[in-house]
Amino acid sequence: MKKEYALKMDDNDQLSYLKKEFLYGDGNDSKKIYFCGNSLGLQHYSLKNKINKHLEQWKDLAVENHFSGDYPWMDIQDKIKEKLKLFLGCSENEIAIMNSLTVNLHLMMVSFYKPSKTRNKILIEENAFSSDRYVVNSQLKYHGLDESSLITVSPEKDHLIDEDKIISKINSNKETLSLVLIPGIQYYSGQVINISKISKVCRDNDIILGLDLAHMVGNVDIDLNSHDVDFATWCSYKYLNSGPGGVSGIYVNSKHIKDDIIRFEGWWGNKLSSRFEMLKKYDPEYSAEGWVLSNPPVILLDMHLASLEVFINAGLNNVFKKSKLLSDFLYKGLSSINNYNKFFDIITPKESKSRGSQISLFFKKSSEEFFSKISKKFVVDYRKPNVVRVAPVPLYNSFYEVYLFVSEIDRIIKSYD
């Protein structure tokens, strides 16, 4: 792997100016190189002022700042949706910013999982993220059902999901299947799932399709309009850099935004025009905002907005284009290390369009020891049983950092000789 190539790529990188805008590790003597934006994105320097501004507004105007002042809190939700629709490929009225991912999955299941005696099964991946599985299992219990109503799809020997297997399970269970919940990008392997393919068979059989976009939003381009799924939710603290525990959102396909939809209701989903009239009857916004329950946390909303602005100013296409180049460089570098596969397999798909920024290394031996060696210089994450996930993020990682990572892995492997 050529250091000169990495340096040349950095020289030609029109987004390289952004690195210094993201704060990380300056107060830390043993500063490492950060490749963990798939778990928690870094802090943009503008956020501190944003937060301070809200503290000032709260101090100066208190409750009046909801609607007045030079930056009324009520406007933030719309400003976010205006930007986020570009990340999701849908319209503003299909998005609401609220809660966190797991809470939103539950709220979506309330509206979209309608089990009957004959049609009550849910299909998920066998290795779904723990919280998604807990949501599904507890929803089954809530409806008086149990795990016998779960249909799961296991990954293949290469750790990847075979979409054709999902499709054949849907087809063979179409009489009893009520809902399919899949990720946009699988958190463990980093595989992009072919959503349109699965959506088509769900549509043909009148089965609800929901998406967990935790690892997809802000990582690769998404076009929800073309996929025709029923609902989706995500988190904003990974690739979207909106802060630990940052606010999530929902997408509800506009075909479901109608009067007879059942959902849990709260005053903040009521039309703004009558929200404060304290009416007895719920009169919802005619949009995904009908699912919003509570007065939202404005500081979290504004941190989210500021983070989205960084992407928009840089140009979403530029960000995603650099991401592909970085992860290609990482993939090629790792796979060119002598004897790497004595220690690990790269389980993320080789084909660039089938992955985002994350590359997952599946260790065959010495996984914890290897991870602790890597962790002396790099922040990556370890997912049990034995996967190390590495995510070079286009907004704040460089090609040179990827070069250093690959060189370090090479050095560690040689040290075992």
Ligand X SMILES: Cc1ncc(COP(=O)(O)O)c(C=O)c1O
Q: Which residues bind ligand X (CB under 6 A)?
A: 100-102, 129, 131-132, 183, 187, 212, 214-215, 235
Residue closer to ligand X (CB basis): 102 or 120: 102
CB of 183 to ligand X, least distance (A): 6
CB of 39 to ligand X, least distance (A): 7
Q: CA angle 160-319-327, nearest 5°?
A: 40
Residue closer to ligand X (CB basis): 105 or 409: 105
Residue closer to ligand X (CB basis): 41 or 394: 41
CA separation, residue 319 to residues 169, 222, 251, 327, 349 (Å): 36, 13, 23, 12, 20
Residue closer to ligand X (CB basis): 18 or 182: 182
Environment class of 143 (CB within 10 Å of its CB; exposed 0-12, middle 13-18, buried 19+): middle
The conformation of residue 356, written as its DSSP 8-state character, comes to -
CB of 193 to ligand X, least distance (A): 12
CB of 359 to ligand X, least distance (A): 16
Tell me which long-range contacts 294-299 makes (C-beta under 8 A, separation of at least 24). Answer: 294/98, 294/266, 294/267, 294/268, 295/267, 295/268, 296/77, 296/97, 296/98, 296/247, 296/268, 297/247, 298/54, 298/73, 298/76, 299/50, 299/51, 299/54
Residue closer to ligand X (CB basis): 237 or 329: 237
Is beta strand 208-212 parallel, antiparallel or unpaired with respect to 231-234?
parallel
Rounded CA separation 274/229 (Å):
31
Residue closer to ligand X (CB basis): 54 or 215: 215
Q: Which residue is nearest to ligand X (CB)?
A: 102
Residue closer to ligand X (CB basis): 115 or 190: 190
Rounded CA separation 207/179 (Å):
6
Rounded CA separation 97/297 (Å):
10
CB of 128 to ligand X, least distance (A): 8
Residue closer to ligand X (CB basis): 129 or 340: 129
57, 65 in Cβ contact below 8 A? yes
CB of 410 to ligand X, least distance (A): 30
CB of 144 to ligand X, least distance (A): 25
CB of 52 to ligand X, least distance (A): 26
Rounded CA separation 388/392 (Å):
13
